[in-house]
Structure 1
Amino acid sequence: MSTIDAADFSPELRQAFVDMVLCGADDDFLIGHADSEWTGLAPILEEDIAVSSIAQDEVAHARELYALAAEFVGRSADDVAYGRTPDEYRCAALCVTPDDFDWSMLIARQFYYDHFDALRLERWKRCAYRPLADLSQRIAAEERFHVHHVDDWIRRLGGSKGDARERIEKALSALWPHAVALFEEPAGEPLVAAKLCPRPPKSMFDTYRKVVGDALSCAGLAVPSGGPDPARLGAGGRRGRHGPQLSTVLEELAEVYRLEPGATW
């Protein structure tokens, strides 16, 4: 596979690449934070440990991706993670959608995100910029555990009766439009042409819908209908357009950083 060095990036390609990496970093950072709020509150001790571990993984993945992006923008990883305004974040709305401490909402959100992230990492593993390809290879190994864990919960809840099944069906339906919006991509064409993002978004969504559909079918659940057309998504989180929830979360996450930006702790 042909490769490209950072020195060979045009200014346009550099910005498109940084935005792509920030999509993954911001997604992981925000969903990791959301998962961490369940520490001590999961239904059973085993799940308390599992969800806390997954949250820790996601934040660690975000940090590595921030460090990669930082090399292109001349800032530290902490500056990239905490020092931007809300409209500079590239996370999808799903990653900041509150679950209101409803376990079914957590599982539905994680289900949609983990399957998307696994496909994105497979795509990035073929990136012509080797540092991202190698990093994606390492992260993908941990992401497989996340997918296995959440698929197990989907089967458990889908095989339940009464309230448990109704709640997961409701959560999956409510979050499906946000799952589709994960596929919004800024400046995708230059990345595909340079082999920095090998697969067009449309083909990735077709694969995603099949993978998600197969997992839900095994649980006796159906893929929710409706939602936006992934080929005609309007400007959203990937282009810095967010609801008020992101600003609220960032105020909490960046509180210590903003006391003294650039400090070494």
Structure 2
Amino acid sequence: MEVLRLCDPYAVDVPDELEDRTGYVFEEAGGGDADRLTIETELLPADVRPADLIAANRRSAARALGGDPGWPEGQVETGLGPAHTLAITDPEIVGGVWVAALRDPLGRMWTLRFESAREWADTVFMALVAAVGGGSLPPGWAERRAFGAPLALPTWLRPPRVYRFAAAGELVICLLDQGASDMPGAPEFEAWGGAGPDELLVVVPLAAGETLLASAEAVWGAWRLDRCDPYGTVLGSTWARVAAAPGLSLRLVVVEREREAIGAAGFSAMVASVARH
């Protein structure tokens, strides 16, 4: 069974056994005072409340900044449940850091951290928190997704370039890379193989061909990466399958260690499912 995961602006079917481990960071172009939104989820004991996470963030900020001047807290209703919020600001400095925490119906604790120097950053933050799990789409905003839930974010906050799904123990990793349109080079193979300092990495081509990726002509390749000792004895293998569509600047990568859990058929099904939305 497969479940649809939306990766802006693409949709892809990812096997249920792969957990969404994407680093959801939405950033404004540029550096310095550019806006940045970080979203994380984790499974915490049922007795841990959103207010407890906010209190921990408050203590951490007070230690770092040398005191707590009475930062305001609040509560916002979202599509996933009530969120507790904290505004870490200084009246003499434009902008600041805004934090929200909420527990969704699946029991996951969400933490949103918004860093901005905009004078109206607090309004932006409250609006995007309220839209977690589904909400209105103000002018100049776009629908995004994180950890399977819909969001509404300002268009200047760019979505992640790479989406990552992995099985327990990182034995299977799926990457949807929206910034790469070419087939991988030797350095990436070495990283996927995980060879130690006294090991050799032997790349064995398995197959190659043409396919459709997001309705565009693409190429695909499959390789086995063997980790060997200096005498050529195979110590372990990694399978890598890649489909790349240059016209879309899109690359789908599936890496499997120790065994081929998804295999060629599963990879082909994932490639065929990728579509623009």
TM-score normalised by structure 1 residue count: 0.27
TM-score normalised by structure 2 residue count: 0.26
Q: Which has the higher contact order (CA 8 A, sep 6+)?
A: 1
Bigger strand fraction: 2
Bigger helix fraction: 1
Task: Pick the structure with greater CA Rg.
Answer: 2
